[in-house]
Amino acid sequence: MRNRITVVTAGIAAALLTVAASRPGTPPTVHHGVGAKMQSISALAIGPNGVLYAADPQAATIYALDLSKLASATPGTKDVANIDQQVASMLGTAPSELTISDLKVEPKSRNSFVAVTRGQGPNAQAVLMRVDGAGKIDVVSLDNISFSSLGLPNAPDVNPNGGRSNRSQSITNLQYLIGRVYIAGLSNEEFASKLWAVGYPFKEADRGTSVEIFHGSHGQLETRSPVYTFLPMTVNGEQDLIAAYLCTPLVRFSVSSLAAGQKVRGTTIAELGAGNRPIDMIRYSKDGNEYLLMSNTSRGVMKIPTRDFGTNKAITSPIEGTAGIGYETISSMTGVQQLDLLDAGHAVVVAKTPSGVNLQAVALP
């Protein structure tokens, strides 16, 4: 059966939503309907009951997509060699025109959902893919999918005067935790870096919490650098968010401190090296110990032990090189861009190789 490809373009409603989300002081907008028209797609998060959360940074909007009635597929995720070439062929384009921006494994089916952008600029198209246990790749048509969407307030301007637009970083990452979606990104405010916590079903988004960090390798406080990837974790009996930044501080934020309209300073627990951008991060246990596994642009996949997250001394003064919590580089994992847990012993990764981009299961190190 021929795959039906949903071309995600900006309709009138999406355009109005973009204007509302970018205008300072405009109340955020909640929409409910069928057939989401996403302008872009980046971060994904999995919730219960078949709900997939997807970020649309160009519209500064979060979508909750109800996939509970999606046609069933073979359980699991099978390796797909050269997935970039196969997806490009399905979408009628070249692999060089594709961007894979996130990967999430649905825990019940263990199917993998992949966020893909076809093309660049205003004509780019957002596509959601699914890979199943037979290695079958499907384009998920949103035409008959029920959705809710929530626009974030005070997003960076699409076309700022005299500067580069940060609109693509209005949402940088998502996580679902106990009835709430936690959102990282930038606003157009003076203290631009933000964390939001919004309940689902969506009702409203407040101003979020302005977050700042001490960046040891830069020797200063920073308020305009976004969180690139984060995940929830219990530290010393308290729910925290563990966040990774450019160049590469690792920072703890207490969930209880994330109050609307407030400014919160995180606790920098590691400096993992300059000249590097974190991409994706998962948490897992092995042999009685817990670790983070982080993909990044310049330093390979990092295996970071979590046992000292609650006791390590905070970094509050300039440093050179690395400091705080250490890490191990996993030499067997190269070119990894996106990753998520498949089961207790394996992760699914999207990895760039000399011949193309592969999706494959790998043993947790």
User: For the chain, what's the residue count?
Assistant: 365
Question: Which token pair is 6?
Answer: 């949903």
- The model's pLDDT over 220-246, given as tens digits with 9 standing for 90+, comes to 999 999 999 999 999 999 999 999 999
pLDDT of residue 227: 98
**Based on the structure, what is the number of domains in the chain?**
1
What is the domain extent for residue 243?
211-330
pLDDT of residue 214: 98
- Region of 236 (left: φ > 0; alpha: ψ -120 to 50; beta: rest) is left
pLDDT of residue 28: 55
* Distance of alpha carbon 221 from alpha carbon 317, whole angstroms: 10
- How would DSSP label each residue in 276-320? --EEEEEEEEETTEEEEEEEESSS-EEEEE-TTTTTSPP--S--S
pLDDT of residue 159: 82
pLDDT of residue 115: 98
Question: Which token pair is 185?
Answer: 């990104």
Nearest one of 131, 72, 126 to 103, comparing CA atoms: 131
pLDDT of residue 161: 76
> Phi and psi dihedrals of 19, rounded to 5?
-60, -45
| pLDDT beneath 50, residues of the chain | 1-27
Cβ–Cβ under 8 Å, residues 250 and 319 = no
- The answer to whether residue 80 sits within a structural domain is no
Amino acid in the structure at residue 2: R
* Distance of alpha carbon 133 from alpha carbon 149, whole angstroms: 30
pLDDT of residue 2: 36
pLDDT of residue 23: 40
- The answer to whether residue 144 sits within a structural domain is no
- The answer to whether residue 253 sits within a structural domain is yes
pTM of the model: 0.91
* Distance of alpha carbon 198 from alpha carbon 114, whole angstroms: 23
- The answer to whether residue 337 sits within a structural domain is no
Residue 263: exposed, middle, or buried by beta-carbon count in 10 A (0-12, 13-18, 19+)? exposed
- The answer to whether residue 64 sits within a structural domain is no
* Distance of alpha carbon 197 from alpha carbon 184, whole angstroms: 9
pLDDT of residue 165: 87
Tell me which residue has tokens 């933000």.
Answer: 194
pLDDT of residue 270: 98
pLDDT of residue 22: 37
**Strand stretches in 288-345, DSSP E:** 289-296, 301-305, 323-324, 328-330, 336-343
- Beta strands at 209-215 and 263-265: parallel, antiparallel or unpaired: parallel
Rg (C-alpha) for the chain, rounded Å, is 20
Would you give the distance in Å from CA 47 to the centre of its chain? 14
pLDDT of residue 274: 95
- The answer to whether residue 244 sits within a structural domain is yes
pLDDT of residue 122: 75
pLDDT of residue 216: 97
Question: Which token pair is 69?
Answer: 């009635």
